[in-house]
Amino acid sequence: MTVQFGYPEDREARSAARVRALEALLIEKGVITDATVDKVLGYFEADMTPLNGAKIVARAWTDAEFAERLVKDTPAAVAELDLPVGMDGAEGEHLQAVANTPGVHNLVICTLCSCFPWPVLGLPPYWYKDPTFRARAAREPRVVLKETGLDLDPSVELRVWDSSGHSRWFVVPQRPAGTDGMTEEQLAALVTTESMIGIAEVPSPAA
């Protein structure tokens, strides 16, 4: 999924180049080592990834009682699962799930751009931090969703949640059609970061 909100096409490349230059300088000065960089990158690739959120969503889709507990007390429900990271630190504290229904769609934004729940969703996409997206999603969320391909029916209530250090929101999207009989692992493979933000729905396997 590609989302653009006035973000210059080469800005991401320039940012990546600056990161590489900073990394090389820190290594040269002896502040960090290649092993340090590899360890941090490995942590985000293997532990703090959207796969955690996908597993949570898949369990909610297959266990109605868990889904109810997840919304009522998200940290306690998540603690029931065997995930590689905890939800009590490193951007995972104060986690709160909201569930989409046929009549309600949830969208999570962060106007401060500092409260993304890393343990559940991984690192935020570059467009999520873009000032244009943050401003427009708060001001005209339904229009922004339509521009990204999600045209909600007027009868569907749209709720916008602004994440902060006190509440780090993520969305439990609706289970798509055509998934009866699928295992939790197969269902988790369908879940995307965008769907757990609320900027998209989970596509059916047929799609």
Catalytic-residue membership of 113: yes
d(CA 92, CA 75): 9
Residue 167 among the catalytic residues? no
The answer to whether 107 and 159 are in contact (CB under 8 A) is yes
| Polymer length in residues for the chain | 207
Q: What gap in Å lies between CA 67 and CA 75, rounded to an integer? A: 12
Q: How many CB atoms lie within 10 A of CB 59?
A: 20
d(CA 89, CA 93): 5
Considering 110, 155, 167, 204, which one is annotated as catalytic? 110
Based on the residue annotation, tell me whether 195 is a catalytic residue of this protein. no
Residue numbers annotated as active site: 110, 113-115
